Amino acid sequence: MSTFKAPKGTYDLLPPDSGRFLAVREAIAAPLRDAGYGYIETPGFEDVRLFARGVGESTDIVSKEMYVFTTKGGDELALRPEGTAAVLRAVLESNLHKTGNLPVKVWYSGSQYRYERPQKGRYRHFSQVGAEAIGAEDPLLDAELIILADQAYRSLGLTRHRILLNSLGDATCRPVYRAALQDFLRALDLDEETRRRVEINPLRVLDDKRPEVRDQLTGAPLLADYLCDACKAYHEEVRALLDGAGVRYEDDPKLVRGLDYYTRTTFEFVHDGLGSQSAVGGGGRYDGLSEMLGGPELPSVGWALGVDRTVLALEAEGVVLDLPPVTSVYAIPLGEAARRALFEKVTELRRAGIATDLSFGGRGLKGAMKSANRSGARLALIAGERDLVDGSVQLKDLESGEQHAVPLAQAVAEIQRLLG
C-alpha cells in the first residue's frame, strides 16, 4: 500500500466506475457537436487576475476557494475554478471573434478546482462539461443551450431533474434593484462579512445558504419587479421558446447564480435526489464579461454541467447506463507458441475494431478463465500446443458455456460473425 493518498476533497476515477463518467461526458457533448459547437481546451491554470476580474472579487470562489500560487518567475496564477472566463480569454486572445462568424460556439470538458468544504457531491477537484455561445445577443441562443442540456440529461435516462429559470436584468435596470435590495439588507441582523458583501454585491447575499441569513430574506425585493421593458421582453421570449420546444421549467424569482458576470437569463438544473447539493449544472447570459476582460462588446451565454453530480443523479434515480463492453474477446494462450500465435490474432481483432484483451504472464487455464469472466468478455479465444498442431483454436461463449474448435486462419471471421 502506498504511503501517499489523494489530497483531501479529491478522488481517483478508476474502472469500472470511470466508464460511467466517460459515458456522461459523451452524452452531454453529443448534442452540442450536433448543434455546431466545436471543442476548446484551455490550461488548467491562468493569471489569477482573470478570475478576480471576471468571476468577481466578492464571490466566495475568488475570495475563499481559489488555489493561488506564485511561480518561480514571480507570476501569480490560479488553478481554474470555472471554465467560462478561461474560454472567453482564449477566444479573445486567438481573435476567433474577428472571423465574422458569430456567435463563436464552443464546448469544453475538464477539471475545475475549488477549496471547498468536502462533502458528498462537493469536491475540491471536480469535472464539468461546458458550452459557450460568444458574440450574439439572441434569446434563441439562451433557449438553445437550455434545450441541449435538457436533451443530454434525458438521453442518459434522467427524468427527475428540474430547470429553474430567472432573469437578472441588465445595466439599465439592475442598479435600481441593487439600491432597493441594499436598503432592505442593511436593516437585517447580519455578520460583518455579509454586511461588507451587501455593499459590494448585494445579489450574492441572496445566494447565501446559511439558515440564519436565509430566514431573514423573506420579503426581500424581487428583481422581476424591477426589470426594464427590454429585459422583460427578452425573458418572455426565452420562456416562449422553451414552451414551444416542450421543455418544462420553473420560474424562480430568487435564483441567483454564484458568479458576478451573469446578466439577464440565468438558469440552474437541480435534482432533488441529491439532498443539499441539488444543483447538477447551470449557467446564463454574461453580456458584459468580454469588456471586463479588456475585450470588445461580445454578448454571450453558456452553461457548465457537473459530471460528478450527474453520476450521482443517475444513482439517485436508479438509472443503469448501457455501457459498451470494455472487452469483447479474451485470449488465453497456453504455452509459448500459443502466446505468439494468439498475440497476432489479438492484434488482428483490435484492428478490426473488436475490443480484445490477452492473458499475460503465462498463467494457467483456470486463473486465466477467472480473468476472462471478470473482464465481462463475451468470448474466450483459447489455444494450446495441441490446438496449434491441428491448426485450430478454441472459441468459448462465456455466457452459454458452449465451446467449439475453429481453424486458426478463420478465427477472426468467426468471432466477427458471433459478435454480430
What CATH number is associated with residue 250?
A: 3.30.930.10
**Same domain, yes or no, for 249 and 390?**
no
**Same domain, yes or no, for 276 and 350?**
no
**Same domain, yes or no, for 401 and 291?**
no
389 occurs within a structural domain: yes
pLDDT computed for residue 236 by the predictor: 97
Assess contact for 284 and 254: CB atoms under 8 A: no
Q: b/e map of 158-178 (b: 16 or more CB within 10 Å)?
A: beebebbbbbbbbeebbeebb
* CA 174/CA 225 separation, integer angstroms: 11
Final residue of a structural domain among 317, 337, 361: 317
pLDDT computed for residue 59 by the predictor: 66
Look over the chain and give the mean of its residue pLDDT values, rounded to a whole number: 92
* CA 291/CA 260 separation, integer angstroms: 13
Final residue of a structural domain among 257, 282, 317: 317
Assess contact for 379 and 330: CB atoms under 8 A: yes
3-state DSSP assignment of residue 182: helix
- Contacts for 278 with CB less than 8 Å, ≥ 6 apart: 270, 271, 272
380 occurs within a structural domain: yes
**Same domain, yes or no, for 90 and 145?**
yes
210 occurs within a structural domain: no
| CATH code of the domain containing 415 | 3.40.50.800
**H or E segment at 250?**
strand 250-251
Assess contact for 286 and 84: CB atoms under 8 A: yes
Count: domains in the chain: 2
381 occurs within a structural domain: yes
- Contacts for 357 with CB less than 8 Å, ≥ 6 apart: 327, 329, 330, 331, 346, 375, 377
pLDDT computed for residue 41 by the predictor: 97
pLDDT in single tens digits along all 420 residues of the chain: 678 999 999 999 998 889 999 999 999 999 999 999 999 999 999 999 998 887 776 566 777 788 999 999 999 999 999 999 999 999 999 999 998 889 999 999 999 999 988 887 788 999 999 999 999 999 999 999 999 999 999 999 999 999 999 999 998 998 899 899 999 999 999 998 889 888 888 888 887 878 899 899 988 998 889 999 999 999 999 999 999 999 999 999 888 776 667 889 999 999 988 887 789 999 999 998 999 999 999 999 999 999 999 999 999 999 999 888 889 999 999 999 999 999 999 999 999 999 999 999 888 999 999 999 998 899 999 999 899 999 999 999 999 999 999 999 999 999 999 998
**Same domain, yes or no, for 244 and 367?**
no
Final residue of a structural domain among 317, 349, 375: 317
**Same domain, yes or no, for 264 and 407?**
no
Length of the chain: 420
379 occurs within a structural domain: yes
180 occurs within a structural domain: no
User: How crowded is residue 293: how many other Cβ atoms within 10 Å of its Cβ?
Assistant: 18
CA distances from 47 to 52, 68, 291, 387 (A): 9, 9, 17, 64
Assess contact for 328 and 378: CB atoms under 8 A: yes
3-state DSSP assignment of residue 18: helix
Assess contact for 13 and 25: CB atoms under 8 A: no
pLDDT computed for residue 324 by the predictor: 81
**Same domain, yes or no, for 259 and 133?**
yes
**Same domain, yes or no, for 275 and 413?**
no
**Same domain, yes or no, for 149 and 231?**
yes
| 95: containing domain | 17-173+227-317
**Same domain, yes or no, for 265 and 140?**
yes
**What does the radius of gyration of the chain's CA atoms come to, in whole angstroms?**
27
3-state DSSP assignment of residue 214: helix
124 occurs within a structural domain: yes
**Same domain, yes or no, for 286 and 366?**
no
**Same domain, yes or no, for 333 and 313?**
no
